[in-house]
Structure 1
Amino acid sequence: MKPTPPVALLALIAMASPLALNAFVPAMPDAAAALDADIATIQLTFTFYLLTLAIGQLITGPLADYFGRRQVLLTGLGLHTVGSLFAASADGVDMLIVGRVLQALGGSTCMALVRAIILDVHGRQGAAGRMGYVVMAIAIAQAIAPTIGGYLNLWSGWNSIFYLSVFMGALVWLLALRMLPETSNVRSDSLHLRGILERYRDVLGSRQYLGYVLSTTAVAAAFYLFVGSSPYIVTDQLGGNSAQFGSWFLIVSLAFMAGSFLSTRLAQAFSVDQMILSGNLISLLGAALLMGLSVLHQLSFAGLFLPMALLIFGRGLSQPNAQSAAINSSDSSAGTASGLMGFIQLVTGAAIAQLVPVLLEHNTTLIFGCILVAPIIALLAHFSAWHRRHDRTA
Structure 2
Amino acid sequence: MKDKSKTQRFLILLFLGLLTAISPFSIDMYLPAFGDMAGDLNTSVEKIQLSLTSYFIGVAIGQMIYGPLLDKFGRKKPLIAGLVIYIAASLFCAVTNSADYLILFRLIQALGGCCGMVASRAMVRDYYDAKESAKIFSLLMLVVGISPILAPSVGAFVLNHFEWHIIFIILTLIGLIILLGTLFILPESYQGNASLSLKPADVSKNFWSVLKNPDFLKYCLIGSFASSGLYAYLAGSSFVMQEYFGLSASQYGTAFAFISSALIIATQINRFLLNRWSSAQISLVANYVQVAVSLGMLIATLSGYITLPLIIGCIFFYLCCQGFIFPNTSALALAPFRELAGSASALLGCIQMALGAFTSALVSYFHNNTAIPMVGVMFFATCSGLIVYISLGKNRKQA
TM (norm. structure 1) is 0.93
Mean Cα displacement is larger for which, 195-204 or 30-39?
30-39
Counterpart residue number, 1:70: 76
Q: Please list, as runs of the form range in 1=range in 2, the aligned pairs for 1:179-258 lying within 5 A after superposition.
A: 179-187=185-193, 189-258=196-265
The offset of 1:363, in angstroms, is 4.5
Mean Cα displacement is larger for which, 119-128 or 355-364?
355-364
The offset of 1:75, in angstroms, is 1.6
| Residue 282 of structure 2 is aligned to residue 267 of structure 1 | no
Query: Which residue of the other structure, out of 172, 180, 191, is the alignment partner of 2:178?
Result: 172
2:108 & 2:390 partners in 1: Cα distance?
38
Q: Deviations over 1:259-314 (max 9, x none)?
A: 11112232222201111113213322321332233134233321222110100011
Q: In the alignment, residue 215 of structure 1 is paired with which amino acid?
A: I
Query: Which residue of the other structure, out of 306, 326, 329, is the alignment partner of 1:299?
Result: 306
2:147 & 2:291 partners in 1: Cα distance?
24
Contact 1:14 1:111 (8 Å CA) reproduced: yes
| Residue 166 of structure 2 is aligned to residue 160 of structure 1 | yes
Counterpart residue number, 2:323: 316
Query: Which residue of the other structure, out of 18, 25, 38, is the alignment partner of 1:19?
Result: 25
Q: In the alignment, residue 237 of structure 2 is paired with which amino acid?
A: S
The offset of 1:243, in angstroms, is 1.9
Counterpart residue number, 2:139: 133
1:6 & 1:182 partners in 2: Cα distance?
10
2:167 & 2:373 partners in 1: Cα distance?
31
The alignment yields a C-alpha RMSD, in angstroms, of: 2.1
Q: Give unpaired runs (5+ residues) of structure 1.
A: none
The offset of 1:366, in angstroms, is 4.6
Contact 1:39 1:357 (8 Å CA) reproduced: no
Q: Give unpaired runs (5+ residues) of structure 2.
A: none
Query: Which residue of the other structure, out of 109, 127, 139, is the alignment partner of 1:121?
Result: 127
Query: Which residue of the other structure, out of 92, 96, 110, is the alignment partner of 2:98?
Result: 92
| Residue 36 of structure 2 is aligned to residue 30 of structure 1 | yes
Q: Deviations over 1:193-252 (max 9, x none)?
A: 111000111112123322111111111121122211121122332122322211101111
Counterpart residue number, 1:369: 376
Rate the CA distance shift 1:362–1:240 in 2: closer, same or farther, 3 A.
closer
The offset of 1:104, in angstroms, is 1.0
Contact 1:199 1:332 (8 Å CA) reproduced: no
Counterpart residue number, 2:108: 102
Give secondary structure in 1 for the equivalent of 2:366. helix
Runs of 4 or more above 3 Å deviation: 1-5, 329-332, 383-386
TM (norm. structure 2) is 0.92
Contact 2:129 2:335 (8 Å CA) reproduced: no
Identity of aligned residues (%): 26
The offset of 1:119, in angstroms, is 0.8
2:390 & 2:332 partners in 1: Cα distance?
13
Q: In the alignment, residue 214 of structure 2 is paired with which amino acid?
A: R
Contact 1:28 1:42 (8 Å CA) reproduced: yes
Question: How many residue pairs align between the two structures?
Answer: 391
Contact 2:267 2:327 (8 Å CA) reproduced: yes
Mean Cα displacement is larger for which, 116-125 or 1-10?
1-10
Mean Cα displacement is larger for which, 87-96 or 241-250?
87-96
Contact 2:244 2:371 (8 Å CA) reproduced: no
Contact 1:282 1:313 (8 Å CA) reproduced: no
